[in-house]
Amino acid sequence: MVDILRMITNYCNGKKCSCCGECCTTFIPITYKEVKRIKKAIKEHNITYDVSDYITPTDLYLLCPFLDMKTKLCKLHSISSSLKPDVCRNFKCYMDPEQVEKDKKYYYDRADINGHNGVVKPMELVFFDNPTSLLLFATRLKGCDTPDKLLAYLEQTGNKDVADAIRNGNIELEWSKENDK
């Protein structure tokens, strides 16, 4: 699990959010109730996601697909702040570190996805059925440099559907010749 809350720097001006987007991770702890609410809003408001905004040949930006990369504002918040997951609505980077730890435990414990239960899925896979960043995260940052390692990681993190899509040829991966050895 990526411990994003431990890596956040406080860029706030007093208690005013700077809209830096640093807390807008793709691996936030969410519940199925939040997923259902957000999926309904995606459909009703035609919210889209473009993976090319988050991935370059040299970088992988592990940011929430609802973070507008141009404005650094939340697409959900622009519709209604009540659409955002609870952790997003309640987290403030200027909070006392002790409170951050307490809240982090609360949100990770209650989460159905990206919590302490072992199911790790990027938000764009949960909401837009796009496994690209999950596969890049696994291969670039988790050391899954062979098909066997990648499939094992996907199974362990509750991403069996992505592993099955690879096995069935629905997702094609290109492995370098070094990785085929």
Per-residue tens of pLDDT for the chain, all 181 residues: 445 445 556 667 777 777 777 788 888 999 999 999 999 999 999 998 888 887 777 777 788 999 988 888 899 988 998 999 999 888 877 777 788 888 889 999 999 999 998 888 889 889 988 888 788 888 887 889 999 999 999 999 899 999 999 999 998 887 754 544 4
Angle between the N-to-C axes of helices 147-156 and 160-167, in degrees from 0 to 180, rounded to the nearest 10 = 150
CB count, 10 Å around CB of 152? Answer: 14
pLDDT at 9: 66
pLDDT at 180: 47
The backbone torsions φ and ψ at residue 16, rounded to the nearest 5 degrees and listed phi first, read -100, 125
Report CA-CA distances (Å) from 146 to 1, 2, 10, 150. 21, 21, 38, 6
**How is residue 129 written in tokens?**
């059925």
CB-based contact 11:93 (threshold 8 Å): yes
pLDDT at 8: 59
Dist. CA 5–CA 40, nearest whole Å: 27
Please report the sign of the dihedral spanned by the C-alpha atoms of residue 38, residue 44, residue 50, residue 51. Answer: positive
